Amino acid sequence: MRDVAVIGVGMHPWGKFDEKPLNQMCREAVDAALKDAGVGWREVQAIAAGSSRFYGGFGWGLNGNEIAMDIGLTGVPVYNLSAGCATGGSALSVGHMLVASGACDTVLVVAGEKMPRGFIPTSGSEGDATDLQYLQWACTGMTGPAFWAMLTHRRMIDYGTTEQQLARVAVKAHRNAAHNPNARYRQEFTLEDVLNSAIVSYPLRLYEVCPARVKTQYQ
């Protein structure tokens, strides 16, 4: 296996951009990454793309194809995937393997999403007995935050994860956002801020699962 390096990065600002199509947002991130790397579009030998589940275009599974058609078809292979919250990391893993294996020298990894407002819907049609995510929701009678809280509590029992450890993840994420001009909210929180924020569904707290701009907004 060969060593692999990330030679350029690009990012579209986080936020609500109702009037801007997702492929335009992805295009801006791709253009920035290519410029940062000093690489031309025709030098890209493959595309590993995290696909949109919720937003327009070709629909679930073809984000990479939309990007290639938008910028210019060059005949390179496109690897689309969708993995929920792990989509970006999974696309990066595919790109890494393409380079590490020697199959390609230069790979574009890109992912983008425009989320619907409110609670995230289930992955399929409501009432579909073949949709395991729908069955999880229906059998527990809970929306996402409560169901995730149950999974988190199970992890605490199985592995000894503590509330303080969970809160440190939020502290780290907010600290990173404070230094990123593309982040939607750029306010840091202390460990005490997170642990003292309101419980959404035990053990998940407000500053661990919801965006927030003002420390005292919900306290």
pLDDT band at residue 177 under the 50/70/90 scheme: very high
Distance CA 88, CA 92 (A): 6
Query: Stretch 140-147: mean pLDDT, rounded?
Result: 79
In a domain, 39, yes or no: yes
Q: 98: domain CATH number?
A: 3.40.47.10
Instruction: Give the pLDDT confidence score for residue 207 in this predicted structure.
Output: 92
In a domain, 77, yes or no: yes
> 87 and 157: one domain?
no
pLDDT at 167 over 90: yes
Instruction: Give the pLDDT confidence score for residue 54 in this predicted structure.
Output: 63
> 37 and 103: one domain?
yes
Question: Which amino acid appears at position 4 of this protein?
Answer: V
Q: Which residues pair with 201 in a beta bridge?
A: 204
- What the block records as the tokens of 29 is 């991130």
Distance CA 200, CA 75 (A): 48
- DSSP characters over 143-206: -HHHHHHHHHHHHHHHH---HHHHHHHHHHHHHHHHT-TT-S------HHHHHHSPEEETTEEH
pLDDT at 156 over 60: yes
> 106 and 138: one domain?
no
Mean pLDDT for all residues in the chain: 86
> 158 and 190: one domain?
yes
Which three-class secondary structure state does DSSP give residue 130? Answer: coil
- What the block records as the tokens of 39 is 């690489």
pLDDT band at residue 23 under the 50/70/90 scheme: confident
C-alpha pair distances (Å), 91 with each of 111, 170, 176, 183 = 7, 24, 22, 21
Model confidence, pTM? 0.80
> 106 and 26: one domain?
yes
Instruction: Give the pLDDT confidence score for residue 196 in this predicted structure.
Output: 95
In a domain, 100, yes or no: yes
Instruction: Give the pLDDT confidence score for residue 5 in this predicted structure.
Output: 97
> 102 and 33: one domain?
yes
> 30 and 106: one domain?
yes
Find the radius of gyration of the CA atoms of the chain.
20
Query: Stretch 169-193: mean pLDDT, rounded?
Result: 93
> 30 and 98: one domain?
yes
In a domain, 68, yes or no: yes
Instruction: Give the pLDDT confidence score for residue 217 in this predicted structure.
Output: 46
Distance CA 143, CA 137 (A): 7
In a domain, 61, yes or no: yes
Number of domains in the chain: 2
List the single range of 63-67, 68-72, 82-86, 91-95 with lowest mean pLDDT.
82-86
pLDDT at 62 over 90: no
Instruction: Give the pLDDT confidence score for residue 44 in this predicted structure.
Output: 97
> 66 and 28: one domain?
yes
- What are the helix (H) ranges across the chain? 22-37, 63-71, 87-100, 132-140, 144-159, 163-178, 191-196, 206-209
> 103 and 44: one domain?
yes
Instruction: Give the pLDDT confidence score for residue 158 in this predicted structure.
Output: 98
Query: Stretch 70-77: mean pLDDT, rounded?
Result: 93
> 106 and 49: one domain?
yes
- What the block records as the tokens of 64 is 């990479």
84-130 residue pLDDT tens: 788 899 999 999 999 999 999 999 999 988 877 766 655 555 566 77
Instruction: Give the pLDDT confidence score for residue 219 in this predicted structure.
Output: 42
Q: Residue 164: which domain range? A: 132-209
In a domain, 15, yes or no: no
pLDDT band at residue 34 under the 50/70/90 scheme: very high
* CA quadruple 104, 10, 17, 74: dihedral sign: negative
In a domain, 193, yes or no: yes
Instruction: Give the pLDDT confidence score for residue 61 in this predicted structure.
Output: 65
> 27 and 107: one domain?
yes
Determine if the peptide bond prior to 77 is cis (ω within 30°).
no
In a domain, 216, yes or no: no
